Chain A
């Protein structure tokens, strides 16, 4: 019974983190049809910005937790948004209308460039910023314990998901975005400034990736390469849920999270395999993912 509870709790915690990581990726693909490989670098940028700012704050005598959290989120959002704006304005907008595979290669090039730029900026030494993680303590359930920080990440994930849903479903901007998703050319003909909407979407998606990194930084050691590690599992989640679907990302994250937790508690050797086994199983029966929609191809 203890193991079942542990699987449920760990699965939920991991799923919430996965959703945070995958949300920006799926938003960008949903609106812009760009499979953004550089999303991992945006995640890493957020993690470095967060770890640096928290480290600087505590090294200079800071002891207010709320300021640490403000720095964590603020620095991640700012650096993610700036990087996103530069990437979209400087590179991607020159490529709009090209084949999706070409865009994939372009964003992969951006990932490589950003990885090296981060090494130039932060070096190769690991950055640690455990203070917020440690400060929120833990909740004990018998021998099992859960950190307060991880509970908070579940809350952050729910809030991010709710805001995204409200933005896309209940606001004027969201309706415009959905019209672009439905038919870009007709939207343009109706007077929608698609390029501006693309810029806004990419900046928001980049910010989401950086926020995910920012909230992950206090849990991990921030080192070169973390962005590459995370992009693979983020792709697995969005593909399982259906590319471009926020609901799909949430459900995909939950399924992958629970399956991984069950594997670690019962057959730890299969941890990595189980993630891709889930993805493959879903794709066999639903090639577009759980919530992905087959679309007619324009000729």
Chain B
């Protein structure tokens, strides 16, 4: 105890202030040049939370990552194979929009970006609701769009025959199937499992997928409780008591951001995390902030090979150094996922074969079913008819020392073909029928 989790860096405070000023002055912030569309620039709309509860842990780190990567793209300082200047030779210009406000507002913002600001592509969306609302509009407006973070498994099943909409991150099914595999491998004897999830679609879907996966992989485990506090509730005293009275050995949680970190700190003080091990599917975003608040052995996921789970390669090494040098902290998984989406855009543009600015059709046809290199390793756009990334899922245990800082131990990875259903399969049916065609070797 006694370690501050408070952000102290003035840089972060200043960024937050600058971000807020941008919001106050119209909600638009650009990372390069003016906002006028020109033929020698490629203009991308970036949509991420700049206000509200999701901004601090997710939205602002993602915006910071965009700032770092866009600067490097324009200067041509990215490692190979992205070491050419710009996007197919064009300078990359960004327009940053606040994702706060809900799906209806985001649809308006999307139309505004495309029809009035004349952006050439859009990257964004942390909220699953926003992804679901915006994706049909992207198809209607025929605009190349990459969802960098939202995790709903319903995205592509509900979007028939996508052409322009892509997702370069994994969905919640992969998180929770991977979590069940990790428990089976590392804690095969557990019998009592509980959960605590934010009470909306993300939490409910996550718990459903996890329960179904556990029933297949560890049928002897009993589900003793699942608490469903409101999103951004902040205080979890009663939920912690309820979990204590049910005596679980594992507490699964898909809570994210400040809610997740607050729960961990409170449960630790109350002794709940001495009685049970927490499995946090999005816990990596707190990796550099938990310090003494999360007990050793807490199981963390990073929604794939992102943040602290990034594999060693030239791109991840460059990104980690550049991000930390610019923003004062190592990148967390939302930052890595934004970097991945921008690399996907550069890959699509550079390989489109276009003279000058590539069209939406050229970008879409190039990224469809593509394989490209990223900070998270090799990404295959192998699902949803080439529109959804297929990548491995990682979990590990958190350990902290005041001398050496945080580290991950006992890391296990599960291939994309192990944690994601084959193309065209419904996720829940795939899990219920025992993961047919899954390749977990």
- A residues lining the B interface (CB < 8 Å): 2-3, 6, 9-10, 13-14, 17, 51, 54-55, 58-59, 63, 116, 119-131, 133-135, 137-138, 140, 143-147, 149-150, 216, 219-221, 223-226, 229, 260-261, 264-265, 268-269, 271-272
Contacts and interface: CB of A to CB of B under 8 A. Distances in A.
A223 B6 CA distance: 12
B80 interface: no
Given A116-B24, A264-B238, A124 B5 contact: no
B7 A14 contact: no
B259 A133 contact: no
Secondary structure type dominating chain A contacts: helix
A220 B53 CA distance: 12
Contact of A143 (B51, B56, B245): B245
B415 interface: no
Contact of A134 (B2, B233, B242): B2
Interface string B401-418: 000000000000000000
A224 B258 CA distance: 11
Interface in B295-334: none
A63 to B, nearest CB: 8
24 contacts: A2-B245, A6-B245, A10-B241, A14-B237, A124-B20, A124-B50, A125-B7, A125-B56, A128-B4, A130-B293, A131-B1, A133-B269, A134-B2, A145-B270, A145-B271, A147-B270, A150-B237, A219-B234, A219-B262, A229-B230, A229-B232, A229-B234, A260-B238, A271-B199
B238 A14 contact: yes
Interface of B: 1-2, 4-8, 12-17, 19-21, 23-24, 50-53, 55-57, 59-60, 199, 225-230, 232-235, 237-239, 241-242, 244-245, 247, 257-259, 261-262, 265-266, 268-272, 275, 289, 293
A128 B264 CA distance: 12
Contact of A9 (B55, B226, B241): B241
B418 to A, nearest CB: 32
**Which of B21, B55, B289 neighbours the largest number of chain A CB atoms within 10 Å of its CB?**
B55
B12 to A, nearest CB: 5
A63 B21 CA distance: 35
A124 B270 contact: no
A126 to B, nearest CB: 4
Contacts of B269: 130, 133-134, 137-138, 147, 149
A174 B289 CA distance: 47
Contact of B258 (A59, A143, A146, A223): A223
Contacts of B265: 128, 130, 133-134
A198 to B, nearest CB: 31
B234 A220 contact: yes
Contacts of A127: 6-7
Contact of B20 (A119, A140, A223): A119
Best-buried of A9, A146, A268 by chain B (most CB within 10 Å): A268
B4 A131 contact: yes
Contact of B4 (A120, A129, A135): A129
A120 B8 contact: no
A264 B239 contact: yes
Contacts of B272: 145
B242 A268 contact: yes
Nearest to A269: B228
Contacts of A128: 4-6, 261-262, 265, 289
A216 B230 CA distance: 17
Contact of A272 (B24, B51, B230): B230
| Pairs of residues from A and B, 10 with the lowest C-beta to C-beta distance, nearest first | A123-B16, A221-B258, A220-B234, A55-B6, A128-B5, A134-B1, A124-B55, A119-B20, A126-B258, A125-B56
Contacts of B241: 6, 9-10, 144, 261, 265
Nearest to A116: B24
Nearest to A150: B237
Contacts of A220: 234-235, 258, 262
A81 B255 CA distance: 35
A100 to B, nearest CB: 29
Contacts of A226: 232, 234
Given A59-B4, A128-B265, A144-B241, A264 B20 contact: no
Contacts of B199: 269, 271-272
B242 A6 contact: yes
A17 B235 contact: yes
A118 to B, nearest CB: 9
A254 to B, nearest CB: 14
B6 A224 contact: no
Contacts of A55: 4, 6, 8
A126 B56 CA distance: 6
A217 B270 CA distance: 17
Contact of A123 (B1, B5, B20, B238): B20
A221 B1 contact: no
Nearest to A260: B238
Contact of A120 (B17, B226, B227): B17
Given A122-B16, A124-B50, A224-B51, 19 more contacts: A14-B237, A17-B235, A123-B56, A125-B7, A125-B56, A134-B1, A134-B2, A135-B2, A143-B244, A219-B262, A220-B234, A220-B235, A223-B53, A223-B232, A226-B234, A261-B241, A265-B242, A265-B245, A271-B230
Most buried by B among A129, A131, A149: A131
B6 A124 contact: no
Nearest to A272: B230
Contacts of A3: 245
B238 A265 contact: yes
